[in-house]
Every structure is written in C-alpha cells, then in structure tokens.
Amino acid sequence: MRIVRQASPPAGVRRLFWRLPIRLYRLGFGRLLGRRFMLLEHVGRTTGLPRRAVIEAVERSAGGYVAASGFGTRADWYRNVLAKPDVTIHLDGRTIPVTAAPLSAEEGGEVLARYGPAHRIAAWHLCRIMGFAVDGGVEDYREAGRHIPFVRFTPREKPAPPA
C-alpha cells in the first residue's frame, strides 16, 4: 500500500454529484442503491441542524454496522457523529436509532482486510478515493484500513412510549 495523495471532501460540482443519493432516499428510492448503502441522519456539530449523508455499510453484524469515512477525518458526517454520536440510519426500508463510535486503527485494518477480498472493486475504489494505491492483497487492504477512519453504528433501544 502506498499513499499517493491526501483525501479531501468534494467541493463544487463534485459535491452535488456525491449528494445525489440523498435525493434518492428522500424520494423513497433509496433501495435502488442496494443493501450496502444507508442514509445517515445526524446533527451538525456547530449548527445543531439536521444533516444527511449516504454512506456504505462495509460490514454488518448483530452488533451493528460499520462504515468508512471515504474522505477521511475531514468529512463533515464523520466529525458530526463523533461530536454527537446518537444518530439514525435508514437501511433496508427500516429506521434504526444507533450510537456511533470510531474504531481503532487496528480494528479498521481488520475490517478492510475482510471487506477487500469480498468486494474487490468497491474496496479498490474506496482506497483510491482515500489516496491509497493497493495491490489487492489482504495485507495491503489491512494496511490501508489502518489509515481509514471507520465508525461502528450500534443499535440502541428505542425509547418506551409514555405510559
């Protein structure tokens, strides 16, 4: 794995392109993106206003969902969920209240080591977006994953209705 450039969030026309999936979700067509994508609803860390981002669930388990911040630690959604971790995701036609927590570099390496061989094209693109050149091997993905910020979204109990 080689670092070939610094990842940065999109701006201008590229930002509009990256935000198109949010419109699909808002129009009720989020399922067209497939089962790996989810709509994240969070709160802006400085404005306190509701925000949305469509991100890929690179791993699913009984313990929750894991997503990578493809634009690094500078991505707004990543910074917002670290500041205010109680968020909501929309996935598979369900609305799920979750709590976000960052993974360690080692955990991130293991996540990408599992994800890379299972989703070769998507993993290669994720690494490319982040500015990494990978050879497609498990160890290369593990090393790249140590540099990519990952977040685990753990479902939390819905509040009980008032008695």
Whether 141 maps to a domain, the answer reads yes
Read off the CATH number of the domain in which 15 is found: 2.30.110.10
Contact 82, 153 (CB under 8 A): no
Structural domain span for residue 142: 2-153
Whole-number pLDDT of residue 3: 75
| Per-residue model confidence (pLDDT) at position 27 | 85
Task: State residue 105's pLDDT score.
Answer: 96
* pTM reported for the whole predicted model: 0.87
**28 inside domain:** yes
Residue 163 lies in a domain: no
| Residues whose CB is less than 8 angstroms from the CB of residue 126 and which lie 6 or more positions away in sequence, other chains included | 56, 58, 68, 70, 112, 148
**For 85-127, what is each residue's pLDDT tens digit?**
999 999 988 899 999 999 999 999 999 999 999 999 989 988 8
Q: DSSP characters for 15-36? A: HHHHHHHHHHHHTT-GGGG-TT
**Which of 109, 108, 119 lies closest to 140, judged by CA?**
109
Domain contains 113: yes
Count of domains forming the chain: 1
In a domain, 160, yes or no: no
Which pLDDT score is estimated for 5? Answer: 73
